[in-house]
Amino acid sequence: MKLQDKVEFVTGVASGMGKAIAELYATEGAKVIVADLNIEGAEAVVEGIESNGGAAKAVQVNVASLTEIENMIDKAVKEYGTLDILVNNAGIMDGFEPVGEINDDRWDLIFDVNTKGVMRAMRKAIPIFQEKGTIINIASTGGLNGAHAGAAYGASKHAVIGLTKNTGYMYANEGIRCNAIAPGGVKTNIAQSMSNVSQFGMDRTKAVQGVMPRLGESEEVAKVALFLASDDASFVNGTVVVADGGWTAAF
């Protein structure tokens, strides 16, 4: 049990990587608060965890809302008394628009969910951590490279990586670790958040997508998240772990 009695909060849990992370953490002994805008999906994850003997609670949250983010973490602390691990997984895609096509509304929404929501959750969690705490941000290979999505998504994930590195360094002496995972293509439903896709943007990224060795499974990313949350990663801080099957090793 690598996370025995740890209290963990993960966003975007109704499906995909968030669901896999919550389930794996629970099997390793963590008490899990699962948060998603889709409360029915979050509750289904809780039911699955509890049926396997784990402990979990579901909360509904829109990570673009400051009030809801702060309330969700307050609920976690009220339920279990503290918070040990924060996983910022919730995110949405753009429509592969290059900067010449992006509009302000889309840009603002992408950043509210993918970046500002991450910052706000981290800001709320930092004072709660008592001498030791772990933050894991789900970034993207799109946060390291320029041709894995559109301008807004890529910029939002680059910002998450910068925020991760800054936080890891700033709070290293406080016993708080902050790392990011940059998954490549993974079988999730994030494409459902796409609309009004730019044909120009999609065409420009085809060559890059074409050299992807394979799509990953959510469970493979969850195993990386388990490592980063556990004491096995006690000396890993302020960095990005790429989990893409070797995709970005090509360029």
pLDDT averaged per 10 residues, the chain (length 251): 95 95 98 95 97 96 95 89 96 95 96 98 93 95 94 97 98 96 89 83 92 95 98 98 95 83
Instruction: Characterize 201-238 residue by residue with b for buried, 16 or more Cβ atoms within 10 angstroms of its Cβ, and e for exposed.
Output: beeebeebeeebeeebebeebbebbbbbbbeebeeebb
Strand ranges (E), 107-175: 133-138
143, with CB counted inside 10 A (0-12, 13-18, 19+), is buried
In the prediction, which pLDDT does 61 show?
Answer: 95
CB 181 within 8 A of CB 217: no
Enumerate the active-site residues.
153
Tokens coding 169:
């360094």
Angle subtended by helix axes 16-27 and 39-51, to nearest 10: 30
In the prediction, which pLDDT does 189 show?
Answer: 73
Run of H or E including 7: strand 7-11
CB 8 within 8 A of CB 15: no
In the prediction, which pLDDT does 131 show?
Answer: 77
Identify which of 91, 67, 81 has the alpha carbon closest to the alpha carbon of residue 33: 81
In the prediction, which pLDDT does 46 show?
Answer: 97
In the prediction, which pLDDT does 18 show?
Answer: 96
Identify which of 241, 45, 216, 41 has the alpha carbon closest to the alpha carbon of residue 144: 241
**Which architecture does CATH list for 7-250?**
3-Layer(aba) Sandwich (3.40)
Q: Helix (H, G, I), strand (E, B), or coil: what is residue 33?
A: strand
Tokens coding 89:
């997984």
